[in-house]
Amino acid sequence: MRTIGFLIQKEFLQIFRNRSMLPIIFAVPVVQLIIIVHAATFEMKSIRLFVVDHDRSVLTREVCDKFRGSGFFRITGYSDLDRDGEQGMKQREADAIVVFPADFEKQVSMGRDARFQLIVNAINGSAGGLIHAYTQSVVQDMNHNLRKESGLISMETRPQQIDLTYTFWYNPELNYQTFMVPGILVILVTVISLLLSGMNIVKEKEIGTIEQVNVSPIRKYQFIAGKLIPTLLIALFELAFGLGVGKLLFDIPLEGNLLLVFFAAAVYSCVILGLGLLVSTMTGTQQQAMFVSFFFMIVFILMSGLFTAAENMPDWAQWLNHLNPVAYFIRIIRMVLLKGSGFTDIRPDLFALALLAVLSITLAVRRYRKTV
């Protein structure tokens, strides 16, 4: 243990001696957390709407006011020419176009079905689907008001219906930041841990100090432990600091036991650090280590369920995702922080992380050859 203690001391001295790494370790993750949480959202609160009104009636203005008052739409253009709406969408000034026919109000006043056209920019399929859903909600509300004003709906004629009472658990305000902050924290811890550990041994190869370690009586497990523990402590500090920032700036709920979060984070960090040390033993330069680390990191993040549900992926991708430690820890941290889950609830994911940790560290120890 004394040998490992000296190695840990040496690692901390090397880390804090490199002044260019200190902002990357401590400042950059916080800035990324603040920026990414605001940017990484699927919520649409300012849909740009272009109105092509061939009718120019009171009713079409009421419909436009209904869109404007919904809180989701912002009217950016108004014309009676179809080509103006098309040009607005091509120039990215509009996300959707509403086209009112010339006899729109007349059809409504005669009690007939009145139609208007909605043209949606569906390059982004998710955004297109949301715009369509929001538009349907506005139109249904408008239809209800028209039937009520015309006397078609009354207490005597209203059909019997089933009323649904709903409650949103764990995120009652449907705040997207509450969902994203824990996942972004996992990504920041992953980036720091994988990059630091991935360039650790290979850095010693480049500067030549690895030869001094090789001729010393230090054993392989002591060397790996001395490399792993300092980065593990830094990763846990990053998580604690990120949780504090998330609570102060975004008011994320901390429903569960924080000790359970840090225990799971320690197990997860062992997986990432073992993988990073494995990459470091297999590469010859820091550039190679960085490229290989980014390869694994991008695959892990995109398949983790951070932005989209992993259950929507194909079956083969879901099976492959059993080897993805990021997916396990994102589920754990969201369950504990947002739902207040206990050890029993996260036990399957935690055991999977422990198995991956043993596997990655074992491979890193075996792959490191202490040769002169």
The predicted structure's pLDDT at residue 104: 85
- Give residue limits of the domains in the chain: 2-40+182-367, 47-149
> By C-alpha distance, which of 181, 180, 185, 187 is closest to 302?
187
Please tell me the distance from the alpha carbon of residue 248 to that of residue 242, in angstroms, as a whole number. 10
Fold assignment, 47-149 = abc type-2 transporter like fold (3.40.1710)
List, as one string, the DSSP characters of 24-38. IIIIHHHHHHHHHHH
Q: Taking Cα atoms as reference points, which of 259, 256, 236, 240 lies closest to residue 248?
A: 240
DSSP 101: -
pLDDT of residue 97: 92
Series of mean pLDDT values for 10-residue runs along the chain (372 residues)? 78 75 76 81 80 89 87 88 90 90 84 84 84 87 74 52 73 83 89 80 71 70 80 88 89 90 93 87 81 86 82 86 92 92 92 93 78 42
- Residues 94, 60: Cα–Cα separation, whole Å: 19
pTM of the model: 0.79
